[in-house]
Amino acid sequence: MKKTNRILAVLMVLVLTVAMMAGCGQKQEEQTTTKAPETTTKAPETTTTAPETTTAPETTTEAETELDYSKLHFGMSSKNMANPFQKEVVVGCQNACKALGINLTVTDSGSDPVKQEKDMEDLIEAGCQAILFVPYDSMGLEAVLKKAHERGVILINLDNRVDDNSAQYVDSIIVSDNVQAGELAGQALVDALGGKGKIAIYSVPTSLASVYRSEGFKSVIEKYPDIEVVVEQTATAGSEDVALPVWETVFQTYPDLDGAFGYCDSAAQAAVSAAKAQGILENVKIVSVDGSTDGKVFIRNGEMYGSAAQFPQVISETGVQYACDILAGKTVEKEVKVPTVWCNKDNVDTINNFSE
């Protein structure tokens, strides 16, 4: 697919650029990547950190079957399409399926874990050969995933990783390298503050993506004794409506904060609004993860300091790719981590990770 190749080309160039410029001290981990077949969307070369890329290993073929894509029916369960990032994940699935002629049914839980479980039940009963899904609750889908697995449905977990109890039923997990994203945000904030100051962290414990980002962020912050985390506030979601009252309380309680980590762009944008209302925005450096279209506007305006940019369509197009590989009898990677790239005012116009 030409579009996918453009996305991958941009991703690899950006990753190499960050490797040369960053030097942020991220630890290297094992690379996971799979080479795509010629008939489907090409999977990205991925690594758990940004320093370098290597040649992808060949997928293993076991009794390979030629697929009739017109007879395939895939399902996509989104956790909340009102979130710009989640919308992009869906768009990637739609584009990949359309290019191959695969019928795709999309459902949106609207951040309701009960509805998401019901949505996935419906996709199973509709006869979907594969279901791609972004869980709202990383720990909340074990029962329906087990049912789908027992029915022989291919399960591809995108963006927000499920816990290990659920992962046993999943064929592949394709996510951003969330630890690395947190590290990028942490190092950027440290640099912006000159290694000292008071900061706040916003996280969502039911989302492993949030948990891993916070881990990466704190692993950097802990190296600087003159930076104090005065509050780590948890909430049920990263959406602006949920995050805004939380940040209002934080800034009212700690008006002398120097920095804030918003977990995702929508939560960071809520922090911007709350800091504005308190009259302290110019004193607070706000960092995040997503590099979304809306987030980039805030970065250009100087309201957000920066965001670790994710590549949602690479994640979802790889998911469609892997589902097809599995149905064709090939072996794919169990878990893939797509690197993120730091986005700030200096390079915001060069990172094309969203379709808008």
Residue with tokens 């109890």: 165
What is the rounded CA–CA span in Å between residue 214 and residue 256? 22
Tokens of 45: 């070369």
Rounded to 5 degrees, φ, ψ at 178 are -70, -30
Total Cβ atoms within 10 A of residue 230: 15
Amino acid at 190: V
Domain with CATH 3.40.50.2300 in the chain: 2-177+311-350, 178-309
Select from 3.30.465.10, 3.10.129.10, 3.30.360.10, 3.40.50.2300 the CATH code of 2-177+311-350. 3.40.50.2300
Q: Which of 272, 314, 3, 316 is nearest to 133 (CA)?
A: 316
Q: Which of 101, 88, 170 is nearest to 131 (CA)?
A: 170
What is the rounded CA–CA span in Å between residue 126 and residue 128? 6
Fold (topology level) of 178-309 = Rossmann fold (3.40.50)
Angle of helix 265-278 versus helix 240-253 axis, rounded to 10:
40
> Is residue 7 helix, strand or coil?
helix
Alpha helices in 279-329 (DSSP H): 293-300, 312-327
pLDDT tens for the 356 residues of the chain, in order: 434 444 444 444 444 444 333 333 333 333 343 333 333 333 333 333 333 322 233 444 455 789 999 999 999 999 999 888 999 999 999 999 999 999 999 999 999 999 999 999 999 999 999 999 999 999 999 999 999 999 999 999 999 999 999 999 999 999 999 999 999 999 999 999 999 999 999 999 999 999 999 999 999 999 999 999 999 999 999 999 999 999 999 999 999 999 999 999 999 999 999 999 999 999 999 999 999 999 999 999 999 999 999 999 999 999 999 999 999 999 999 999 999 999 999 999 999 999 86
Half-sphere exposure at residue 309, Cβ-oriented, CA atoms within 13 angstroms: 30
Q: How far apart are the first and last CA of the chain?
A: 19
What is the rounded CA–CA span in Å between residue 282 and residue 302? 9
Instruction: Give the pLDDT confidence score for residue 356 in this predicted structure.
Output: 66
Instruction: Give the pLDDT confidence score for residue 64 in this predicted structure.
Output: 73
